[in-house]
Structure 1
Amino acid sequence: MSLREVAPHTYLLEESHQLSQLLKKNYRWYSPAFSPRDVLRFADVSSITESPETMKAIRDFLVERYRAMTPAPTHILGFDARGFLFGPMIAVELRIPFVLMRKADKNAGLLIRSEPYEKEYKEAAPEVMTIRYGSIGEGSRVVLIDDVLATGGTALSGLQLVVASAAEVVEMVSILSIPFLKAVERIHSTANGRYKDVQFLSLLSEDALTAKNCGDLQGVDGPRVISCGDVLAKNLP
């Protein structure tokens, strides 16, 4: 078995698996000094997208998983915005639709909106997610995908939208999970247990990342963001 159950309905890819090893090798995190968010370790998805070998391994693993399922998934739903990086390549291989779940009513058409939610870092206001009405419905079997499962607010919004559409959740997939934030426990216990049987799959735990995965630049004392003009003039920190 390539997966191990770490909690009820919660699965993690075995560390010995080639994909887990690739993710552990290539994932980078940044401290607040080099991060767009004030969190202790900001997991940078671009460190994965810039590794074609890792992206291909993610695609191949999940495509093989869902091809083997009976009944098979009928839709992949990706979270705005990083779920958009992974969902389409899986959906294309499976020849099923990829559904955009977007923030703040940015989809066109008649929309279904989630309840407001908050994330592991503070925004100006709670966020909401939307999908186009009719993009999934009764009989749809939906896989949800995002880059990181942190507090679970974003994941819960997706589950709300799938349930409101009378569709079925196959599982929620994240490339990285942050166990100490206890997202799965929170989701399984919310709404009087409405989502208690939802299955979660993570390809890597943040616990596997060490100081070697830190992408902070050493000896840089200037601003984190440099203008094009300063770069051209070689006026670097």
Structure 2
Amino acid sequence: MIASQLATDLAATVRSIPDYPKPGIIFRDITTLLGNPRAFRRAVDELVQPWAGSKIDKVAGIEARGFILGGAVAHQASAGFIPIRKKGKLPHATVRIAYSLEYGLDEMEMHEDAVTAGERVVLVDDLIATGGTAVAATKLLKQCGAEVVAAVFVIDLPDLGGADKLRALGTPVHTLMSFAGH
């Protein structure tokens, strides 16, 4: 977690939508943060900062908001970008992993030539909740030989335990703010 004033400032740019996608859930919408030039720039700078000066070969972004953030982080880090997408969305030969959702199973994939053994990769997405998607993406990258240096997120929902699941895999986690609940 970064300095509380920065987290407070960034959190003020996140829209909270109650009862979406179902009753009892508060959806944390970062499109308002992305639409605020100062907040967007600051968020990207803070996601990159822990690795300034270290070698990062690739940044992997999880569909879809992870593409926006991951592309910006890759640019700042002078790294390549790897899109991790839902099954069937990539045009070339892929590698895939299945993962559990609260309502069933899903699959994600990336191009089989997106990463080479030993490349240092930072995984990026907008939010870490239960961790299912981020854990699967981390495992997929590692299966392909990547060294997953860290996973970074704008928002953590610590009550749901996703960041702890990534840490249990040996992946450092860096978040900019957290919200209680789910």
Under a length normalisation based on structure 1, what TM-score does the superposition of the two structures give? Answer: 0.71
**1:169 counterpart = 2:158:** no
Q: CA-to-partner distance for each residue in 1:120-167, whole Å, 9 max, x for gaps?
A: xx4xx4211101001112121000010110000010111111111111
Structure 2 counterpart SS, 1:77? strand
**Runs of 5+ in structure 1 lacking a partner?**
1-11, 190-194, 209-237
**In structure 2, what is the Cα distance between the partners aligned to 1:67 and 1:187?**
22
Q: Kindly indicate whether residue 72 of structure 2 is the aligned counterpart of residue 89 of structure 1.
A: yes
Q: Please say if 1:198 is aligned against 2:171.
A: yes
User: Cα distance, 1:105 vs. partner?
Assistant: 2.6
Conserved? CA contact 1:143–1:170, under 8 Å: yes
2:18 is the counterpart of 1:45: no
Q: Please identify the structure whose Cα radius of gyration is greater.
A: 1
Distance 1:187 1:98 in 2: 21
Identity percentage of aligned residues: 25
- Residue 68 (structure 1) aligned with residue 47 (structure 2): no
Return the structure number with greater strand share.
2
**Contact 2:129 / 2:163 at 8 angstroms: preserved in 1?**
no
Whether contact under 8 Å (1:105, 1:111) holds in the other structure is: no
The amino acid that maps onto 2:161 is K
Q: Which residue of 2 aligns with 1:26?
A: 13
The answer (yes or no) to whether the contact 1:152–1:183 under 8 Å persists in 2 is yes
User: Does residue 8 of structure 2 align to residue 14 of structure 1?
Assistant: no
Q: Give the match for residue 84 of structure 2.
A: 101
The aligned length equals: 181
CA RMSD of aligned residues (A): 1.8
Residue ranges of structure 2 left out of the alignment (5+ in a row): none
Indicate how the Cα distance of structure 1 residues 87 and 39 shifts in structure 2: closer, same or farther if over 3 A, else same: farther
